[in-house]
Amino acid sequence: MSETPDLDATIEEMKTKTAQVKAELAKITGTGTAANGTIIATVDSAGHLRDLTLPRDTSRLGTQLAPLILQAAAEAEKDARRKSAAALQPFTSDDRVVSGLKAIGETLGPTASNPKPHRPMTEEEIQDADDAYFERMNRGGWTR
């Protein structure tokens, strides 16, 4: 008897796992809060903002509103990443998938290092960039 695994059965197993994981990922949402739970952000499994709940009296938060929204959204993204990683566990724990991904990585060679995540500029950074722009324009001229 051959010890070679049944390729058709393996392919069907992977198709089934793929469909299950895809269905799980489609249902995942992540939730994050800020301002003692009065700001609630909800994202999908990819981290895209899907809902945002704000308190009625947002004016009391003033300039803190935007950073608090970003904080809630970041927490929601973290929650969604954790849930997505758990949903992908059938693949990430499968030695066949891991060795296949490793082989692909070796074939493609090294990739660019992970870029730093984008963060919004602070007010000070925006002001500095504006000042630098106008200084350049004043030195070099406004018409070209």
CB neighbour list of residue 129: distance below 8 Å, 6 or more residues apart: 121
Please write the tens of the pLDDT for every residue from 82-102: 999 999 998 888 888 888 888
Residue 126 lies in a domain: no
Mean model confidence pLDDT for the chain: 87
Residue 138 lies in a domain: no
Residue 127 lies in a domain: no
- The Cβ of residue 56 has, within 10 Å, a number of other Cβ atoms equal to 7
Residue 15 lies in a domain: yes
Number of domains in the chain: 1
User: How many whole angstroms separate alpha carbon 22 and alpha carbon 78?
Assistant: 19
Q: pTM for the whole thing?
A: 0.62
Print the domain residue range for 76. 4-109
For range 94-119, the mean pLDDT:
77
Residue 130 lies in a domain: no
114 vs 90, higher pLDDT: 90
